[in-house]
Amino acid sequence: MERRDASRRDRREGRDQGVQRNDSRRQRTQRRITGSPGDSEVDARRGSLRRGNGYSGGRGATRRRTGQTRLHAEPGDATRRARPTGQATRRRVTRDEAHVVAHNGGGKSLRPPVTLVGIALVVLLCLGGGFLAVRHMLSLGETQQQEQQSEKTPEELAEEAARKRVEQLVDGLTLEEKAAQLFIVRPEAITGVEVATEAGQTTRETISKNPVCGLIYSELNLVEEGQTEKLLKNTQNYVKDASGLPALLCVEEEGGSHAPVANAYLARSKVAGAARIGAGNEAEEARVAARQVGEYLSSLGFNTDLAPVADIVSSVDSDLSERSFGDDPQKVASMVEAQVDGYARSGVLCAVKHFPGIGEAEKDPHNGRLYSHRTLDELMKREVVPFAAAIKKDVPIVVVSSMSCLELGNGEGDLPSWMSEAVVTDLLRGKLGYKGVVMTDQLDDEAVADACDPAEQAVRAIKAGCDIVVCPQDYEQACEGILKAVEEGDITEKRIDESVRRIVKLKEGLGD
């Protein structure tokens, strides 16, 4: 009995020692493959073998489960032990993973790290794709631009080229040269001579220092045809040499009695005045007259006529009665529109005057200044009608009067119209949409001499929206006033550029 018990104990101890030896073999094998696993890993595997696979510790139990198991030999294991199929699969995955770990330096991560080369390739692919996308977009933009260019009419292409040319010319001017372009003066104002009938060395030197926008001539400057041609030709050449731009060589040739060129017997034939043409009520007669005036002016060297008068005059006692086409707004509008067309056909610039209409203005008996009590609505229905017609006909220049519009503007009513932002910017530029050149009336008139000094007159005219100051009482003082205003920030150079751009565009249309 004691012998049987001792035999059983020996068998159990032997069986336990065999299990321990097998566990030791498995641990050594695992260390050779993946490195030394922790004790917890060994315990987990052993527990899995006993619990998860139904192991009960006896051989009989193992034999009874042979239908659900397959043999799996462990490396270095002398005996075969039954393992479930699922356990064997997990074992093979573990070994494959162990090989990957071994190749990666024995680390514990099972995923191979992304190499720098891989990152570089990804970056290069992204950059390459981005470059191709940008290149495609640029190519597409160029194609669209070319298509747009091809769709433009010859007139649109010519206008675009002219706009670029104007920008180049404006950018090439100094601030002093830009300021000089804002003035049209009498030749005597810059030469200092009493009456200018020729243009020689004095004129050349003066214009080189003062490259003004243009000059205006009266009957006193015009002696005979050859003298006039030489006077204007030399002056034009001096201005072009000084500024690279042509000068506006101006005269007020309205026809009838108000025609300094014709009255100096330089015209081959006289043209009827506005009142006579208006009486005939034939717009074609007005067109022909304007074209005829423009042609004889051009033959002498003039390129700008400060005409026609667009004022509506109902009183025969008015100073403008002979210079106006009449008292009916629609009739005057048709005559003015026809004359704008006639001047355009002659190649000479014209200027409608005296905006917003002085034909029925009242006159102050003390200082001779003109003023109007018309409201904006009243002006729009009557005085402004001929000017609106001229603007629709693309009149190149509008002359703004010295009349005070008492009912317009906030605190500007008593100012001359060319000083009033309400008249120039709000009404002419804004409401009527005029985009051409705006001139002041002649400022050397006694009626406006006491308004303020020449510098302030020039500055306030530009701030109101005018582009050209005509005949300031003192040109040098007026020009210095503009430069000082820019220096002190009262006027921006951008505002000066706006006017100079319009002036240069106007001059570019004159040709050589």
pLDDT recorded at residue 103: 46
Alpha carbon separation from 139 to 147, 149, 150, 167 (Å, rounded)? 12, 15, 16, 28
The yes-or-no verdict on residue 10 having pLDDT over 90 is no
Instruction: Report the C-alpha gap between 9 and 4 in whole angstroms.
Output: 9
- Least confident piece of the model among 393-397, 408-412, 420-424: 408-412
Sole residue written with tokens 């015209």? 267
Contact predicate 207/242, CB 8 Å: yes
User: What percent of the chain has pLDDT above 90?
Assistant: 59
CA atoms within 13 A on the CB side of 161: 9
The yes-or-no verdict on residue 424 having pLDDT over 90 is yes
- Beta strands 304-305 and 70-72, pairing class: unpaired
Name the DSSP letter for residue 220. G
Peptide bond connecting 75 to the previous residue in cis, omega within 30 degrees of 0: no
Looking at residues 21-50, what average pLDDT do you find? 50
Contact predicate 182/467, CB 8 Å: yes
pLDDT recorded at residue 324: 96
Instruction: Report the C-alpha gap between 315 and 198 in whole angstroms.
Output: 41
Looking at residues 293-316, what average pLDDT do you find? 95
Looking at residues 214-229, what average pLDDT do you find? 95
Angle at 248 between CA 270 and CA 340, to 5 degrees: 55
Question: What pTM was estimated for this model as a whole?
Answer: 0.71
The burial of 422, by beta-carbon neighbours within 10 Å (0-12 exposed, 13-18 middle, 19 or more buried), is given as: buried
The yes-or-no verdict on residue 484 having pLDDT over 60 is yes
The yes-or-no verdict on residue 123 having pLDDT over 50 is yes
Q: Tokens at residue 311, please?
A: 């004022």
Looking at residues 303-316, what average pLDDT do you find? 95
- Least confident piece of the model among 175-179, 224-228, 450-454: 450-454
Looking at residues 247-273, what average pLDDT do you find? 90
Looking at residues 407-424, what average pLDDT do you find? 88
The yes-or-no verdict on residue 61 having pLDDT over 60 is no
Looking at residues 368-394, what average pLDDT do you find? 95
The yes-or-no verdict on residue 79 having pLDDT over 80 is no
pLDDT recorded at residue 158: 83
Looking at residues 62-69, what average pLDDT do you find? 39
The yes-or-no verdict on residue 218 having pLDDT over 80 is yes
**3-class DSSP state of 258:** strand
Positions of CATH 3.20.20.300 in the chain:
152-508
Angle at 84 between CA 80 and CA 85, to 5 degrees: 105
Q: Tens digits of per-residue pLDDT, 310-338?
A: 999 988 888 898 999 999 999 999 999 99
Name the DSSP letter for residue 248. E
Span between the terminal Cα atoms of the chain, in Å: 143
pLDDT recorded at residue 234: 97
- Least confident piece of the model among 30-39, 111-120, 175-184, 403-412: 30-39
The yes-or-no verdict on residue 260 having pLDDT over 60 is yes
pLDDT recorded at residue 152: 82
Angle at 40 between CA 37 and CA 41, to 5 degrees: 45
Where do runs of H (alpha helix) occur along 72-115? Answer: 85-103
Structure-model confidence comparison of residues 134 and 187, the more confident one: 187
Instruction: Report the C-alpha gap between 244 and 169 in whole angstroms.
Output: 8
The yes-or-no verdict on residue 165 having pLDDT over 70 is yes
Q: Where does the pLDDT of residue 134 fall: very low under 50, low under 70, confident under 90, or very high at 90 and above?
A: low
**3-class DSSP state of 310:** coil
> In terms of CATH, what superfamily is 152-508?
Glycoside hydrolase, family 3, N-terminal domain (3.20.20.300)
Peptide bond connecting 37 to the previous residue in cis, omega within 30 degrees of 0: no
- Average pLDDT of the residues of the chain: 81
Looking at residues 453-482, what average pLDDT do you find? 96
Residue type for position 158: A
Looking at residues 87-100, what average pLDDT do you find? 45
131-145, 157-171, 435-449, 478-492, range with greatest mean pLDDT = 478-492
Q: Where does the pLDDT of residue 40 fall: very low under 50, low under 70, confident under 90, or very high at 90 and above?
A: very low
Looking at residues 94-102, what average pLDDT do you find? 45
Looking at residues 231-248, what average pLDDT do you find? 96
The yes-or-no verdict on residue 466 having pLDDT over 50 is yes
> Which long-range contacts does 91-94 make (Cβ < 8 Å, 24+ apart)?
94/34
The yes-or-no verdict on residue 45 having pLDDT over 50 is no
Name the DSSP letter for residue 55. -
SS (H, E, C) 361-422: CEECCCCCCEEECCCHHHHHHCCCHHHHHHHHCCCCEEEECCCEECCCCCCCCCCEHHHCHH
Structure-model confidence comparison of residues 270 and 335, the more confident one: 335
When computed from its CA atoms, the radius of gyration of the chain, rounded to whole angstroms, is 50
pLDDT recorded at residue 368: 83
